[in-house]
Amino acid sequence: MTNRRIWKDEATTPDHAWRQFQAWAASPSNHMIGETDDFMEILQRFVNRPRVVGGVVHDARIAAVCVAHGVEALLTRDRDFSLFPELPTHDPLETGKG
């Protein structure tokens, strides 16, 4: 939400984005997740795939954490996550689906 190349005139300030993150994190329905014991094994499989370079390595980390925790789907508009079919994704801004 803070990247002006993506959001152009709709980008928000870092302060506003942080306040929104804090609100999500404080939600009683939210559960923060992190690396598990098998995280490195999953991450290794993901980063060894073609086209997983640069910023996509961070996407691989996110995907590995989600897969390790059995996340059912990641809400994202980032098409790079299609490199990790083990983690289903849904575009949260697409209408008429779901």
Q: What is the average per-residue pLDDT within 43-62?
A: 97
> 3-class DSSP state for residue 77?
coil
The pLDDT, as a whole number, for residue 89 is 96
pLDDT tens digits along 27-48: 999 888 999 999 999 999 999 9
The pLDDT, as a whole number, for residue 12 is 80
- What is the reported pTM? 0.75
Q: Read out DSSP for 12-47?
A: --HHHHHHHHHHHHH-TT-------TTHHHHHHHHH
